[in-house]
Amino acid sequence: MEGVLGLQLCNEAESNAPGMYEWYSSVVAAIAKVDATIPLYISDGWNLSNAVEYAQRKNSVSSNTNPIVIDTHLYWAFSDADRSKSAKDIIAEVPRKLSELENKQGDVVTRGAVEAIVGEYSCVLDDQTWHRTLGRTDACPERTQYANNFGNVQSTRYQQRSSGAFFWTWKMDWMDGGEWGFVQQVKNNAIRPPANFTIPSHDVSAILVRALRARDARRDAALASHADYWNRQQAAQTYEHWRFGRGFECGYADALAFFGMRLEAQLGGRSRAGADKIGSLELWIRKRMADAGMGGPCAWEFEAGFRQGVLGFYDEAGVA
């Protein structure tokens, strides 16, 4: 299905819905019989920790079913607990969101892959929060500044920790104004794009040329460092360091291909500024390990090399 990112099984599932994960599994099994490659998006039912555990099990390297991506929604405008907070308190909470993913990623071979998107977020806070913060609820410069700070902190956190974030919403009858409005919040500089989206197309071309020239030297240095370290850890252990080299080459090539995709595809019929990074990296590594037929006790070396290859390209490109 060209242009389809994935299939969402359920949007905003009820909290603690009985049988939810059993139902997910039955639907995943049915879809896998038709197409086991298309990503499937599941609602976390307002409990990201439980969804992370489920996704890790489903996304093991030995699984041959669809990749599972978690959809979590982040708002601070609906619960009594959030209404009782000030805007400053809420803004301070944002950098701790998605912490459920910490220590769950970075080792697909052992833990399985897990990725989450923020399927909905906004710059909206409840009137009680605004009254608590400013003593008023109407539009004013101070409110706009708080909303901008709220959006900036969210943009930063979600770019760091999620596989993507989707602002709610683009269009309503009364848009493009308001803290629900993507257009208005972009105009206010509350929602900011990733830095790599702003690279001029001629700079992207130059970076690709430079990265290709540096590839072999970076691979050789990374492989030598990897082999030296592990050979000194357990001399009697059998390693297959060639897998690291193969992984590095694959990761570097994939990162480069994504980065130059807009130049290659000429999206929209014209060259567009900006460069892309690999999204859902954990799931992408799982896929690439399967593509390469990587299994056995030394499969971890391919994964380690792949990650080093991706990081090596981004370091050469000068993007975080």
User: Is 1 among the domain residues?
Assistant: no
- The answer for residues whose C-beta is within 8 angstroms of residue 74's C-beta and 6 or more apart is 97, 118, 120, 121, 154
User: Is 2 among the domain residues?
Assistant: no
Domain boundary among the residues 169, 194, 219 is at 194
User: Is 268 among the domain residues?
Assistant: yes
- pTM of the predicted model, to two decimals? 0.94
What does the alpha-carbon distance between residue 184 and residue 189 come to, in Å, rounded to a whole number? 9
User: Is 98 among the domain residues?
Assistant: yes
Checking if the pLDDT of 1 tops 90, the result is no
Are 186 and 215 contained in the same domain? no
Are 230 and 276 contained in the same domain? yes
Q: What is the pLDDT of residue 177?
A: 77
Going by their DSSP bridges, the two strands 68-73 and 7-8 should be labelled as unpaired
Cβ–Cβ under 8 Å, residues 164 and 117: yes
CA 64, 23, 163, 225 dihedral sign is: negative
Cβ–Cβ under 8 Å, residues 272 and 214: no
Are 19 and 59 contained in the same domain? yes
Token readout for 49 is 């920790």
Are 104 and 218 contained in the same domain? no
- How many Cα neighbours within 13 Å face the side chain of 298? 13
Cβ–Cβ under 8 Å, residues 310 and 252: yes
Average predicted confidence (pLDDT) for the chain: 94
pLDDT tens column, 244-302: 999 999 999 999 999 999 887 655 555 568 999 999 999 999 999 999 999 999 999 99
Cis before 176 (ω within 30): yes
Cis before 198 (ω within 30): no
Torsion of CA 214, 218, 219, 220, to 10 degrees: 110
Percent of all residues in the chain with a pLDDT value above 70, rounded to a whole number: 96
- Phi first, then psi: give them for residue 296, nearest 5 degrees: 90, 180
User: Is 171 among the domain residues?
Assistant: yes
Are 208 and 99 contained in the same domain? no
Checking if the pLDDT of 138 tops 80, the result is yes
- CATH number for the domain harbouring residue 82: 3.20.20.80
Are 170 and 24 contained in the same domain? yes
CA max distance for the chain: 71
Are 220 and 179 contained in the same domain? no
Domain boundary among the residues 171, 194, 217 is at 194
Are 78 and 185 contained in the same domain? yes
Are 131 and 162 contained in the same domain? yes
Domain boundary among the residues 168, 194, 220 is at 194
Are 72 and 184 contained in the same domain? yes
User: Is 183 among the domain residues?
Assistant: yes
Q: What is the pLDDT of residue 113?
A: 98
pLDDT tens column, 113-123: 999 999 999 99
Closest by alpha carbon to 307, among 279, 287, 290, 282? 282
User: Is 261 among the domain residues?
Assistant: yes
Q: What is the pLDDT of residue 174?
A: 73
Domain count, the chain: 2
Are 180 and 214 contained in the same domain? no
Are 142 and 255 contained in the same domain? no
Q: Which domain holds residue 267?
A: 198-317
Terminal CA-CA length for the chain: 31
User: Is 126 among the domain residues?
Assistant: yes
